Structure 1
């Protein structure tokens, strides 16, 4: 009997040791990135926060550095409705919710313009934009919509010159349970991350356990859409499984980077077939370990991977729980605590380089960069305005932290 108890004790200790070792990355952030310890850093020239009175709670941004425009995905109702974080207070979206066009390279550029939706009347609570992707060849704009009636991917034709987006239809499938980020392969094929297997809507306890145990149940899928026949269901193929699959960015035609928020890593996958043959054709060729929780990813013209995310999970959770109080622009720091940001870049040759750390602009989810014009944009899940920087012109409201 004593031997049995001893064996069970050893087995439990081994399991606990394995668990804590596997979670060492995120656990270390609780200590080293806690308030009062985390050091500010800003390598962005002329950085500042702009348009705080126009946009807030923007989760994703797409940049077209050829034509010089960007599209923001903004949901000011996120304080009361966030299906990823489990906030289900009120699904009614504020009127300023939507997609915003930023003609940053235009001489006439003044401020972001909210795109007018054509043939799209989702009703109250049924448009909560998250991840977005634009396919320039077809002019199709894909938008993850965490609607009250169910999560789906919306397809729009972008009519940039007139500030409109014409709705073409929705994409749904049983394998698109929790779509989060999108990368377009071509006009009819997408790579999409499902951030969880269990949803906060239907299985909140299991979804929370999936997050905190970093269970590899989330997925990266390929979605093939028949654009020639309206109403034809998509073909969805599972390519890989991992924990909390978040941002997706193509490095080339056979290589994709996928963020694991709960794993504090970015996995780089290679697929010789070009993502056509499912899980048996996918392999991890690089694991980028991070000192923060990665959210969305982007790749600039030079092939540099930009990674945005959250240094301190408890601070982010405190900001999420503050919820409705933060919708008040006059809320105090105690009523609406801040959650810092972390932005880094990575290349296979140079490794990881930190670019921005701090709370002057919080909860960064996506960063994009126009290399030729020497400027960039970052957005924050729970912050107002957008963070911009430029190598030539000073921002409207320079950040208080110094350049290190």
Structure 2
């Protein structure tokens, strides 16, 4: 009989185990991991550097990065937030650094530093870890949970589920009485085949992107991104856009994929987007600047005169897409061609046909219905003694360390409740 059994040997599971053991050393804790290795997602996060959290210290601002779970996380973030995460690691000899975009990594630039920290703490606190222990069943009789794994049966007074997006575990929780919000992918890149971008992978620029609504469009769609929302358009984002071999990625695209996870799933990942490569200008301003350049640079060819601060290769492709020949000079460009070029710069339309996973960071929108969780303790409202942490719940974030912060916060609060009750 264990006092606490934790299902899932990832970030949330380890963080919870460590805090439970620290707060109540007398508790007998076991952590079950289905794979042959623990902390695998930590290892690949941030390109192997582990994007531990994000340098946003205001809970009211932090929740704006969570398409699902924002309201529920406000209270928890007031209990355990970014500063607490930093303090936890620094107290254990792991210094973190802030990069220009706010992402935080260990100074070592290696996820192994985080893994070594966790493994050292687990050894110090004498927490049992059992690998290759996939759970096949969870039942509760009176006040005791029975957890069946592929190896053996365990009994525990309390359990914490930190398995991330795991359909088999969701089915077991459903059998215990929980509702599961059906999962759909989040944080993915857009697959696009288009001559304007096909030969320039690696080009990155600041852009505004809009998902053009299909008809019929769910009237409930109203996504509050930081960019301006118009009544006609349902999903809009602005930020760095990266052209890849498969299409488009970067924060501007990933933000759309997260906030629009359910809408884009309904579209079966076939839809149109409109890209404004010059979001700091309005369309009339772009046209006027082109007219001014026509006067000043009359003898130069348009192809070789990048009129705006966008990558040269992108400019060349957009000029060609506007139907302007390589040899056309500014003096010879027609009004229609100027208007066409203005359109390519401010409202290029692309057809998206499919998606790709963003690096190894697979994130799912969906999971345990948040109405069935007490966010003061992260305990199930349906099954006393059952706790949750991480992405097993219907909480997910955009890229940048926010999903990890959700894991740390939930694990800490659940651990505190488990250790004190």
By relative contact order (CA 8 Å, sep 6+), the higher-ranking structure is 2
* TM-score of the pair, normalised by structure 2: 0.24
Higher helix share: 2
Q: Which has the larger radius of gyration?
A: 2
Higher strand share: 1
